Each structure stands twice: as structure tokens, then as C-alpha cells.
Amino acid sequence: MLENILSVRDVSFRYAASPVLTEVSFDANRGDYIGLVGPNGSGKSTLIRAVLGLVAVPGRNIRLFGIPVADFRDWKKIGYLPQRLGQFNPQFPATLQEIVSLGMLSTKPAFPKRRRAGERQAVMQALDLLGIADLRKKMIGELSGGQQQRAFIARALVSSPELLILDEPTTALDPDTRERFYELLDALNRSQKTTIILITHDIGSIGRYANRLLYLDKRVVFYGGFDEFCHSPEMSSYFGDYSQHIICHRHDHEERELGDL
């Protein structure tokens, strides 16, 4: 039986008079890998922030692991990488290892938050996974954009979350690292049944890995499998045949390239 991890029902939100989300509904079950896509200003980040309780939406229509988000306290189940973390203060006096260790905060009891046995090992594993273990003593502000992004991804992964939410995580990554990152997420999703929601503009790449595509434009335009998206007449009429073909063709092309390897 499918275990519901996230349930969003008829969620609407507006900033002043401008609607940002209109009656958005979707579910995520354990092991789902959802690509959340849509144009700029379509409400993707707002939706994610509402899911995490960072934006208060009226009602109790968002449930994490069956619990209304306002009452949810089991944060160790969640790993989150916000989009704007790249705008942190570059003079901040912390090492990469200290920043990644912050990801373990949710695994500690409320009081007192002391270092626990095995924590260092978990941090080292996350650093190894992202290929940045040798940089652990470096100051976070001294790293390149791509290395910083890997550090923040490591921080989101370090507590082995059951639900991983990543807001445009691949923006600062070079193509090789980006590919390895997608493969890492794919492995996590398959081996640990980690539920993943990944915001991206890279529909072609995400289509190769995600089992569901959520196309948002203030409302849910499409929610389903990638193949379904590519063969949907509604999507053809929404995007136009050409745009749909470009997205889906790129996906086919990349799949063929992978098959040739």
C-alpha cells in the first residue's frame, strides 16, 4: 500500500492582491521522485515554502507524514535546500564541515543539543558522497559557487531524510557534477526509498529520473508521468506542439546517449 508522505489540498496563497497559488492539490507517496517545474514566478518556491510551514497558508490543508504542517515537529525526516542559500554572507566564519554539521541539528532533541556519537561519521560520509571531504577545513566563503552548492546539498542529505526538498540545486554545478548529482539522487530514491521533490528548469534532465512531473503555473497545469506529459494532447495545446516536442525530444536524446554508454 502506498504511504502518503505529503498531501496538499486546495492550497491558495496571495501576496497582497496578487494570487501566487490557486487551489493547488497534489500528493507525494514514499519513494516518489517529483520534478517540480514551471516558468519564473509560477509559485514553485512559494509552494515549497508553504509545504515546509515557512509561509503560512490558511487552513490545515498541507500534511507532512499525515500531520498538519503547523503541528509538524519531526524535522529529521526532512532535508531542505532553499534556492537563496547561495546568497549567504561570504564572510561568514564557518568551515565547510561546520556548515554540513548543521544538517544534523534536526536529529537532536530540543534540549540540550549536544554532539552525538556517529555524527562526525555521518558528516564525513556526506562530504565523501559529494566529493568535498578534502575541503572540509576550508572556510565556506572561500569555496567556488559549485563547491558551496555541494556543501549545502551535503547539509540537506546528512541526516538521511525521508523527504528531500531541493530548490534549483543544480544551478551552480558544472555538467559533470550535475550529472553525478542526479545519479546520486536517483540512487537514494531507489535504495532508500527517499521521497524527492526537486524544483528545476531543466525538464529534459529531470524527466530521465523523476517518476512524476508537476508543472505549476500558479495552479497545477500537469501532474503525472513524463511519458504521459509527452503524449498528452492537453499539454500539446498548452505548450504548443513545438515546445512539447523540444522538451520530450531532449529527454529521448539524453536517454539514447546514456544507452550508448
Which parts of this chain interact with another protein (CB under 8 A)? Answer: 49, 52-54, 73, 75-76, 78, 80-82, 84-85, 88-89, 91-95, 98-99, 102-103, 105-106, 108, 110-113, 137, 139, 155
**What type of residue is 4?**
N
**How many Å is the Cα radius of gyration of the chain?**
19
Between 88 and 209, CB nearer to another protein: 88
Secondary structure of residue 108 in the 3-state scheme? coil
Provide the minimum distance between the beta carbon of 80 and another protein in the complex, in angstroms, as a whole number: 4
Helix locations, 35-192, DSSP H: 44-51, 96-101, 119-129, 145-157, 175-191
Provide the minimum distance between the beta carbon of 111 and another protein in the complex, in angstroms, as a whole number: 7
Provide the minimum distance between the beta carbon of 18 and another protein in the complex, in angstroms, as a whole number: 17
Residues 6+ apart with CB under 8 A from 241: none
Between 167 and 239, CB nearer to another protein: 167
Residues 6+ apart with CB under 8 A from 124: 133, 136
**Helix, strand, coil: what percent of the chain each, to 5?**
45, 25, 30
Q: Sort 65 into a burial class: Cβ within 10 Å, 0-12 / 13-18 / 19+.
A: middle
Provide the minimum distance between the beta carbon of 257 and another protein in the complex, in angstroms, as a whole number: 35
Provide the minimum distance between the beta carbon of 113 and another protein in the complex, in angstroms, as a whole number: 4
Residues 6+ apart with CB under 8 A from 126: 100, 103, 154, 155, 157, 158
Cell reading at 32: 516518489
Cell reading at 254: 539524453
Between 163 and 203, CB nearer to another protein: 163
Between 162 and 220, CB nearer to another protein: 162
Between 34 and 203, CB nearer to another protein: 34
Provide the minimum distance between the beta carbon of 44 and another protein in the complex, in angstroms, as a whole number: 15
Between 111 and 242, CB nearer to another protein: 111
CB atoms within 10 A of CB 96: 27
Cell reading at 199: 524544483
